[in-house]
């Protein structure tokens, strides 16, 4: 008869989490780097007691905001290439629902995070308890049901022994390259404290290694035949290349076969910017080099990408009527998008197999030469936008140029929403893999600072530079406190354009009048004059406001020499953006309006719709 250990459900969960391991550089390390926790009545007595007793094997970190700590956990997993992850726990109620946005973000981006929200009493004796949602027609509903559509796996633990199968399934999902995403185990608060005789085997150390699925022979043969028949092939590199640790294999594959590479937001930094076959960003925020080649490509090898609308130019960018797509992906859902020929495999294993199948085949030399020419033509254009300026309010691109000039090859730039992701995608020159960390699958305003914290936790040896607009900063800045508290140094550059400049530009581009985006176009009695430097300083950071690019570069140099989190604020122009490169994006324009500018924008919109390749 197997031996058992009598523990509360929460104690058993914590012990099981601590027993999970993964291999990093050939040595076993904890799969869960820790747990983020904000305690309340729904988790403090059960899970809180268990975490306190296990601090030596499963560290607990205190955040200032539930959504922010979940962002940090997701960023940690992304920066760790999904090899390591974190758990997050909150009480029942608003603490739990505050994490829904982060769960959706992790779901969209296929990133692992374990959500452990407190839940109602399974026994129901004290119902309705504080913060309980009561459904008039369903007694089993709680607020945590909101996690269901944004979790890859959801379970509610209503008996202590249910933890055993639920935890096994949770681990399968969190570590599977195809299913990977957020998992929610809703923990009924009475059950957290109830004891059960758990088998010792439940707590046995388990080492999780990445599954490297090799392609099916028939799919491989078809993909090789398509490429061998190509005259103008391209590779679209997505985040799956980094998660598979396949950047070196991608480099040798592209070089061996002379195929230009273009990068999605998640895939940027798979090749260093200076590589001659790296055409840079593709799609709506793409470079002139990438998009010129993409528009003519006859075979698109899409590696580890969801092929979202920003990558495909709302499915109007890849304009060759005979073009074929090869979807190299671990997930069939993504591999088969838009009638692609699926090559279901791990990115590294798939590229290795495809390389062998292609043998000595190379793309036509004229096409490879064309790629070099397009890259050479784009470089001075990009440099013009990022060049130093004496302008009182520089553009986002000019600020990016300053950050780039004062940085190092291993720096990591972190951003998420607004106009900055588009400018960074086009203009940032990544010097090393993982040096570009953008959350753009969900474009989550407020991710930036919390995300930077997670990136720094994943690799403290790298300089982490967070670039954030004033709008996102105002939405979520609380993790400056956490960074200072944990001694994790971030450099945070706040670009203050006095509102939501990106959406104001989009509003104008679709024929609308500036309205409710920039502060000056809102209903107000007093115009806000926000001292971001004073605010950041009050949270414990070193902080300053600079006047122009020259002062910015000096402040960045000083921050690099410091061990403390530094916030640097600079005023920027809300109207300027990089108009070179890029591609049309499908943003619907009203058919009827009293504004002639809207009707003209609608006419252009309808003309552009005809270029979409819907369903083929």
Express each pLDDT in 10-49 by its tens digit: 999 999 999 999 999 889 999 999 999 999 999 999 999 9
Strands 491-496 and 464-469, bridge-based pairing: parallel
Peptide bond just before 128 cis, omega within 30 deg: yes
Give alpha helix (H) positions in 229-331: 239-243, 247-257, 288-294, 309-312
Q: How far is CA 503 from CA 191, 538, 605, in A?
A: 46, 30, 18
Tell me the C-alpha distance between 592 and 226, whole Å. 45
Four-point Cα dihedral 232, 347, 249, 405, nearest 10 = 80
CATH superfamily of domain region 387-571: Thiamin diphosphate (ThDP)-binding fold, Pyr/PP domains (3.40.50.970)
Token code pair at residue 18: 């601590």
Token code pair at residue 262: 């273009």
Spell out the SS3 assignment of 508-551. Answer: HHCCCCCCCCEHHHCCCCCCCCCCHHHHHHHCCCEEEEECCHHH
Q: In this structure, what DSSP letter does residue 412 have?
A: E
Express each pLDDT in 290-341 by its tens digit: 999 999 999 999 999 999 999 999 999 999 999 999 999 999 999 999 899 9
Return the closest-CA partner of residue 565 out of 471, 456, 474: 456
440 backbone dihedrals φ, ψ, rounded to 5°: -125, 0
Return the closest-CA partner of residue 521 out of 588, 596, 597, 574: 574
Token code pair at residue 6: 């009598």
Tell me the C-alpha distance between 365 and 388, whole Å. 37
Same-fold call for 217-378 versus 387-571? yes
Element (DSSP H or E) covering residue 27 = strand 27-30
pLDDT of residue 484: 98
CATH number of 217-378: 3.40.50.1220
Burial status of residue 564 (CB atoms within 10 A of its CB: 0-12, 13-18, 19 or more): middle
Express each pLDDT in 494-509 by its tens digit: 999 999 999 999 999 9
Q: Which fold has domain 4-208?
A: Rossmann fold (3.40.50)
Token code pair at residue 478: 């609380």
Strands 464-469 and 436-438, bridge-based pairing: unpaired
CB 91 within 8 A of CB 116: no
Tell me the C-alpha distance between 389 and 552, whole Å. 11
Express each pLDDT in 219-270 by its tens digit: 999 999 999 999 999 999 999 999 999 999 999 999 999 999 999 999 999 9
Element (DSSP H or E) covering residue 192 = helix 189-192
Q: Does 598 score more than 90 pLDDT?
A: yes
Q: How far is CA 273 from CA 14, 129, 435, in A?
A: 43, 55, 11
DSSP states of 423-452: HHHHH----STT-EEE--SS--TTHHHHHH
pLDDT of residue 298: 98
| Helix, strand, or coil (residue 277) | coil
pLDDT of residue 616: 58
Q: What is the CA radius of gyration of the chain?
A: 25
Return the closest-CA partner of residue 114 out of 158, 160, 58: 58
pTM of the model as a whole = 0.97
| Domain spans in the chain, listed from the N-terminal domain onward | 4-208, 217-378, 387-571, 586-616
Express each pLDDT in 77-101 by its tens digit: 999 999 999 999 999 999 999 999 9
């Amino acid at each position: 008869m197997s031996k058992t250990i009598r523990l509360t459900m929460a104690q058993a969960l914590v012990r099981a989490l601590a027993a999970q391991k993964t291999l990093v550089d050939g040595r076993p390390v904890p799969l869960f780097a820790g747990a983020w926790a904000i305690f309340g009545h729904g988790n403090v007595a059960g899970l809180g007691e268990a975490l306190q007793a296990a601090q030596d094997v499963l560290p607990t970190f205190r955040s200032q905001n539930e959504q922010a700590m979940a962002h940090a956990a997701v960023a940690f997993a992304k920066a760790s290439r999904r090899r390591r992850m974190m758990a997050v726990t909150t009480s029942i109620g608003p603490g739990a629902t505050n994490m829904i946005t982060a769960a959706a973000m992790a779901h969209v981006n296929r990133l692992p995070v374990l959500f452990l929200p407190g839940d109602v009493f399974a026994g129901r004796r004290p119902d309705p308890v504080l913060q309980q949602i009561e459904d008039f027609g369903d007694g089993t509903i709680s607020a945590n049901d909101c996690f269901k559509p944004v979790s890859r796996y959801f379970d509610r633990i209503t008996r202590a022994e249910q933890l055993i199968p639920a935890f096994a399934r949770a681990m399968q999902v969190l570590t599977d390259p195809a299913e990977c995403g957020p998992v929610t185990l809703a923990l009924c608060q009475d059950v957290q404290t109830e004891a059960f005789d758990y088998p010792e085997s439940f707590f046995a150390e388990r080492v999780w290694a990445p599954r490297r699925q090799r392609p099916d022979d028939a799919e491989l043969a078809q993909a090789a035949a398509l490429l061998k028949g190509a005259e103008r092939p391209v590779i679209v590199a997505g985040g799956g290349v980094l998660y598979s640790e396949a950047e070196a294999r991608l480099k040798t594959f592209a070089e061996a076969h002379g195929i230009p590479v273009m990068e999605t937001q998640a895939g940027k930094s798979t090749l260093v910017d200076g590589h001659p076959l790296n055409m840079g960003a593709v799609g709506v925020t793409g470079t002139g080099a990438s998009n010129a080649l993409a528009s003519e490509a006859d075979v698109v090898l899409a590696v580890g990408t969801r092929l979202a609308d920003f990558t495909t130019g709302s499915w109007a960018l890849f304009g060759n009527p005979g073009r074929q797509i090869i979807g190299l992906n671990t997930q069939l859902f993504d591999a088969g998008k838009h009638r692609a020929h699926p090559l279901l495999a791990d990115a590294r294993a798939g590229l290795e197999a495809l390389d062998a199948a292609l043998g000595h085949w190379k793309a036509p030399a004229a096409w490879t030469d064309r790629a070099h020419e397009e890259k050479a033509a784009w470089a001075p254009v990009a440099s013009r936008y990022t060049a130093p300026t004496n302008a009182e309010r520089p553009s986002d691109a000019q600020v990016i140029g300053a950050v780039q000039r004062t940085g190092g090859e291993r720096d990591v730039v972190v951003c998420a929403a607004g106009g900055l992701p588009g400018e960074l995608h086009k203009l940032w020159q990544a010097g090393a893999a993982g040096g570009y960390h953008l959350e753009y699958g969900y474009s989550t305003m407020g991710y930036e600072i919390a995300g930077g914290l997670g990136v720094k936790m994943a690799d403290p040896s790298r300089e982490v530079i967070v670039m954030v607009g004033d709008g996102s900063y105002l939405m979520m800045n609380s993790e400056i406190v956490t960074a200072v508290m944990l001694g994790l140094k971030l450099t945070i550059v706040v670009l203050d354009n006095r509102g939501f400049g990106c959406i104001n530009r989009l509003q104008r581009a679709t024929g609308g009048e500036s309205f409710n985006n920039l502060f000056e176009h809102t209903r107000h009695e007093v115009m806000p004059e926000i001292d971001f430097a004073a605010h950041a300083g009050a949270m414990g950071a070193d902080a300053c406001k600079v006047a122009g690019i020259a002062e910015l570069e000096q402040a960045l140099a000083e921050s690099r020499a410091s061990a403390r989190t530094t916030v640097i604020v600079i005023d920027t122009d809300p109207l300027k953006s990089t108009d070179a490169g890029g591609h049309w994006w499908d943003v619907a324009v009203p058919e009827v309006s009293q504004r002639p500018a809207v009707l003209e924008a609608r006419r252009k919109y309808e003309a552009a719709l005809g270029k979409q390749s819907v369903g083929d």
